[in-house]
Structure 1
Amino acid sequence: MDNKTLENQRVLIVDDQRAFQLMFKGILYSMGATNVAFAPTGEQALAKCANVSYDILFVDYHLGVGKNGKQLLEDLREKKLLAPHSIFMLVTGENSVPMVMSAVELEPDDYLVKPFSQNVLRRRIQRIKRKKTQLAALYQALFDEQAEQIIELCQQEIATEGRYQQFCKRVLVENLIAQQHYAPAEQILQATLSQRRNGWALLLQAKLCFAQQRYEESLLLCQEAIEDNRYFAEAYDIQAQVYLAQKEPELAFDSIQTAAEIAPFNMARQYLLLGIARELNHVPQQVQASKQLYEITRRSVKQDVVHLLNYVRTIIDAAVRADDASVRNRYLQEVSLALQRVKRDDSMTREINFNLFEDLCQARLESLNGAQYQAKKTYAAIAEQLQDEHQVLPDAIFLLNQIGEFEQATALRQLMPAEQMKNPVLKALFNDQQSFVDQKQLQFGELNKAGIKSYKAGNYAAAVTQFEAALELAPMNTGSALNLIQASIQLLNSQQKRKSVELFDRCKKTFRVVDNMPLPEHHRVRYKELLQQFDKLREEFRR
């Protein structure tokens, strides 16, 4: 038995359980390790790796609060803190399918399930070290992202027909497909599959067929891979993409949902699921996928406030579209809980003016609960701050459209940087709302035009009725509110004998839509004129 497996190796144990750290240290010492460091959190491990290049890292998947083992591996790779020769082993006591498959997809050097014996650990380390030593030049080229060198080194290793030729074939084909060199990639895959129907070869051949729009071939290959391994999430991903290309979104949804159940911690997979769910109007799945994207990225190097914004916006959008009051209330509660939770996360909230974002969300919730005036009042209080806060401009636009201020929403849209619309979730939310707003705006516009026509014809009673109907569709629309006030004043003035108290009160109430609100210049001038006219009527009512 070799007791010098870890001699002269710098080892890092990342685990939040002190008892396991000490027990594991004893095992490693018996294998020759003398240089062993500890980190109880992913953040501390990342800091240590920034200063020391470790030869072997044993990382627990669950690390309490903060980064988990998967996120730590992503960070180390992204920041180039994991040397080509280093060994990264995920260690966990959990063996559920989603946890194991999500970890395996990230391709650590190995994955250990507790408890494990010293002999198993030794064999695993020795096997990985042999591979890393034999393919040192290739691992360096992968680390440096030198595509041409990767291809050349893979071809050299394959020519020797050594023990790592299958691994090198997979790496070679992946690089050829990435560079769209389909013919040589397919030649290698066909030769490999003629000898043995390897899962990786089936998957890459399916991917290649999809890229070349050979959809039926791709589906057959995916099905074969899935029949061989029902937990092959990546095969379901390609299957979903093929179904989408064939205009079969329901089948695509079934495939991507299965993939997400098998291995949920994959950003590309969740984005695909979110897009398909939106196409099919599967609202709960949209909310779940957007939440999963936020959770996946929250503690990782891919953390971006945009995932938080997308998550909250998706929930509010779901509430807007909910016909059932109990379902809407459930979504509204989820928004409140999400905002409260995020407040405690300084690393996230400092990236934006979170108070402004929260106010806009609150206004949208007020509007959904029927408090349209309060929603507009909330907006009026923060409107001046929006000029320099591009990240939350979409939320202001959503709110304005929601309460019927279509003109102001269009004006704000002009301020949005084009870069923002590269966010696929935001783009989809805009498209969905715009489709709804276009329909509402069409009905609103027809009623408003009819009211203007009636007003010009001197039929003030009909004009009042039509403007009131327009405001039912867009309750806080400034232009229509001013039209209704103007028509109401004319109707009251025409009632020489006995003016309607009810109409006067309705007119007074309509002023609340524009009182103390930020108004464009043409509306502001008109508002002042109408207010003067209404004040004269007020004096008459007092007499």
Structure 2
Amino acid sequence: MQTKTLENQRVLIVDDQRAFQLMFKGVLYSMGATNVAFAPTGEQALAKSSNVDFDILFVDYHLGVGKNGKQLLEDLREKKLLKPHSIFMLVTGENSVPVVVSAVELEPDDYLVKPFSQSVLRSRILRIQKKKIHLAALFQALYDNNTEQVIELCQREISEAGRYQQFCKRVLAESFLNSHRYTEAEQVLLGCLDQRRNGWALLLMARLCFELQRFSQSQELCDEAIEENRLFAEAYDIKARCFLAENDAEQAFSCIQAATEIAPFSMQRQYLYMDIAHALEDTNAKVLASKQLYEITRRSIRQDVVHLLNYIRSIIAAATLSDDPQQRNRYLQEVAIALQRARRDDNLIREIDFDLFEILCQARLDSISGQQFQAKKTYAAVAEHAETQQQVLPDTVFLLNQIGEFEQADRLAALIDPALQADPVLQRLLSEQQRHNQAQQQHFSQLNKDGIRQYKEGQHLAALALFEQALELAPMNTGCALNVIQTSLQLLKTRSQGPGGNLLDRCKKAFRIVDNMPLPEHHRKRYQELLSQFTQLQQEKRR
């Protein structure tokens, strides 16, 4: 079998340092390369790869502003721009554990730390080329996502005791595991572990045991893998999942913290971190995970404005729940910084009405600060638009619940697009607010119902007291404000005086809650009738 050299190979160097580009080009030319292109950014590398099928890509991990090398690799794979025969090598001077392990977890063809010698570079390239040539059909099947062919080709290489049988055993076990063919996966892995208890086999067996709910065995395998290599972040992930499945959130959190310290740049890991933080009701940890998801995806193929929105929503939710004024102020400052920073990222926010999102966020912050009238006034100014914009409809629901407009919030929550609600972070934020408000909402509803009953029985003073108690729980609730007005007017008509003095002043205060607000038809008619009665009573009082 003849291996390729660098002759006739299309090579792309992705590095933002011009000096390194020229130096590295000289090294490659001395190794026989004649066709070398450059790209200083991940974005330019992606554009070039859309037009040329490069045979070898040497990519620096840190590329200044924009995508880094890891994100470029994700993009190339997602867009099918990295062909089965292509070699992708990360090249960097960065040797910190989080960067190295996070990069290696994505499994580039190789990872080179600067400085490196020409002989090391040559041997690495030749080794990968040999593997790509020998297993060309398998890499093509993997590229095509043809699982059955992957399994067949792996089994053939293993049966022939080929040079790459260990690699094929790993791919075969992963294929069985991902296809939920657990019995076959276990047979392959047991055979591997009988020969040698290497890290990848231990981790795949641990994953298998987790899927089969054999949690103790899974954790033992993870511990064995960690003993072999303390930087196996995935082993900590699996242990965390096991502990979470056994409702031991404290142990799960300890494990996921260890994993994120080793390799924090994984979306799946951050989602798991958030799951565990929710189980512990650790507000700060949820904010940190949400921020990390936003940072990870900002420049990647998974860039989505929803990660930014959820990060800001998470901070506001944390501020809402905080009993510590200093901590609440820190959250409010973080919201302001996040909004200001997002303003500079036009590519990310152009797909939504960010002005509207910012207005709704400010109204929520006003509500947290006790400025309920200002929050509702802000909502009234944008309500018609806010209720028709799917991306910010959840924020409208959050705001309405905060100011006590529970009925309106429930109506709009039912209109949120199911695809939007499917986002796990947003889903949790919505359910969390609902759970947090549940007792308050039930108490409010009961007071309001009791007030209506007392009103119908002619006990207007008792009814008014109940309605005002309800408004303390939901200070901007339109329906309850109208109940206060109606009851106060009824007391005025009968010349009764309630406790606390002037009933006309009570009416005025309640009207402030309703005036200039967008109202459902039944509330609008009732408001107009009560306003007419109130105006008439005022005129009579003046006479």
TM-score by length of 2: 0.96
CA contact (8 A) 2:387 2:396 kept: no
- The verdict on how the C-alpha distance between 1:496 and 1:104 changes in structure 2, with shifts beyond 3 A counting, is closer
CA contact (8 A) 1:492 1:499 kept: no
What is residue 179 of structure 1 aligned with on the other side? 179
Q: Which moved more, 1:122-131 or 1:381-390?
A: 381-390
What is residue 285 of structure 2 aligned with on the other side? 285
Matches within 5 A, 1:215-234: 215-234=215-234
1:145-165 Cα shifts (integer Å, max 9, x gaps): 111111111112122323321
Work out the CA distance in 2 between the residues paired with 1:84 and 1:453: 74
What is residue 344 of structure 1 aligned with on the other side? 344
What is residue 257 of structure 1 aligned with on the other side? 257
- 1:116 offset after TM fit, Å? 1.5
- 1:496 offset after TM fit, Å? 7.2
SS at match of 1:357: helix
Work out the CA distance in 2 between the residues paired with 1:336 and 1:499: 43
Q: Confirm whether residue 365 of structure 1 aligns to residue 368 of structure 2.
A: no
Work out the CA distance in 2 between the residues paired with 1:391 and 1:278: 24
CA contact (8 A) 2:497 2:503 kept: no
AA aligned to 1:361 is C
1:174-206 Cα shifts (integer Å, max 9, x gaps): 001111222222122111111211000000111
1:324-374 Cα shifts (integer Å, max 9, x gaps): 111111111111211121122222212222222222111111111111111
AA aligned to 2:274 is L
SS at match of 2:311: helix
- 1:488 offset after TM fit, Å? 2.1
CA contact (8 A) 1:226 1:235 kept: yes
Q: Which moved more, 1:89-98 or 1:177-186?
A: 177-186
SS at match of 2:451: helix
- 1:377 offset after TM fit, Å? 1.2
What is residue 246 of structure 1 aligned with on the other side? 246
Matches within 5 A, 1:8-47: 8-47=8-47
CA contact (8 A) 1:366 1:375 kept: yes
What is residue 509 of structure 1 aligned with on the other side? 509
AA aligned to 1:374 is Q
- 1:53 offset after TM fit, Å? 0.8
- Equivalenced residue count is 540
Matches within 5 A, 1:492-503: 492-495=492-495, 502-503=502-503
AA aligned to 1:431 is S
AA aligned to 1:21 is Q
CA contact (8 A) 1:243 1:249 kept: yes
What is residue 441 of structure 2 aligned with on the other side? 441
- 1:499 offset after TM fit, Å? 12
- 1:498 offset after TM fit, Å? 12
AA aligned to 2:178 is A
Matches within 5 A, 1:75-114: 75-114=75-114
What is residue 146 of structure 1 aligned with on the other side? 146
CA contact (8 A) 1:8 1:35 kept: yes
Q: Which moved more, 1:385-394 or 1:509-518?
A: 385-394
1:122-174 Cα shifts (integer Å, max 9, x gaps): 12111111111111111111111111111111112122323321111100100
Work out the CA distance in 2 between the residues paired with 1:175 and 1:74: 20
- 1:541 offset after TM fit, Å? 4.8
- 1:409 offset after TM fit, Å? 0.9
Work out the CA distance in 2 between the residues paired with 1:55 and 1:499: 85
What is residue 310 of structure 2 aligned with on the other side? 310
- The verdict on how the C-alpha distance between 1:387 and 1:364 changes in structure 2, with shifts beyond 3 A counting, is closer
CA contact (8 A) 1:225 1:235 kept: yes
Identity fraction in percent: 67
Work out the CA distance in 2 between the residues paired with 1:508 and 1:174: 69
- The verdict on how the C-alpha distance between 1:120 and 1:500 changes in structure 2, with shifts beyond 3 A counting, is closer
Q: Confirm whether residue 301 of structure 1 aligns to residue 301 of structure 2.
A: yes
AA aligned to 1:487 is T
Gaps of 5+ in 2: none
- 1:387 offset after TM fit, Å? 4.5
CA contact (8 A) 1:290 1:314 kept: yes
Work out the CA distance in 2 between the residues paired with 1:532 and 1:31: 91
Matches within 5 A, 1:450-529: 450-495=450-495, 502-529=502-529
Work out the CA distance in 2 between the residues paired with 1:184 and 1:415: 45
Work out the CA distance in 2 between the residues paired with 1:497 and 1:191: 88
What is residue 165 of structure 2 aligned with on the other side? 165
- 1:464 offset after TM fit, Å? 2.6
AA aligned to 1:417 is D
TM-score by length of 1: 0.96
Q: Confirm whether residue 121 of structure 1 aligns to residue 90 of structure 2.
A: no
Work out the CA distance in 2 between the residues paired with 1:497 and 1:16: 79
Work out the CA distance in 2 between the residues paired with 1:506 and 1:338: 40
What is residue 385 of structure 1 aligned with on the other side? 385
Work out the CA distance in 1 between the residues paired with 2:354 and 2:181: 47
Gaps of 5+ in 1: none
AA aligned to 2:476 is M
Work out the CA distance in 1 between the residues paired with 2:513 and 2:456: 23
Work out the CA distance in 1 between the residues paired with 2:521 and 2:498: 35
Work out the CA distance in 1 between the residues paired with 2:164 and 2:288: 41
Work out the CA distance in 2 between the residues paired with 1:319 and 1:379: 20
What is residue 205 of structure 2 aligned with on the other side? 205
Work out the CA distance in 2 between the residues paired with 1:500 and 1:180: 70
What is residue 195 of structure 2 aligned with on the other side? 195
Work out the CA distance in 2 between the residues paired with 1:207 and 1:454: 61
Moved over 6 A (4+): 496-501
What is residue 536 of structure 2 aligned with on the other side? 536
Work out the CA distance in 2 between the residues paired with 1:438 and 1:257: 31
- 1:536 offset after TM fit, Å? 2.6
Work out the CA distance in 1 between the residues paired with 2:495 and 2:93: 83
Work out the CA distance in 2 between the residues paired with 1:227 and 1:33: 43
- 1:542 offset after TM fit, Å? 4.1
CA contact (8 A) 1:74 1:301 kept: yes
CA contact (8 A) 1:492 1:500 kept: no
CA contact (8 A) 1:10 1:35 kept: yes
CA contact (8 A) 2:491 2:497 kept: no
Q: Confirm whether residue 60 of structure 1 aligns to residue 57 of structure 2.
A: no
Work out the CA distance in 2 between the residues paired with 1:190 and 1:442: 55
Q: CA RMSD in A?
A: 1.8
What is residue 326 of structure 2 aligned with on the other side? 326
SS at match of 2:269: helix
CA contact (8 A) 2:461 2:498 kept: no
CA contact (8 A) 2:154 2:169 kept: yes
Work out the CA distance in 2 between the residues paired with 1:96 and 1:496: 77
Q: Which moved more, 1:399-408 or 1:443-452?
A: 443-452
- 1:415 offset after TM fit, Å? 1.5
AA aligned to 1:521 is E
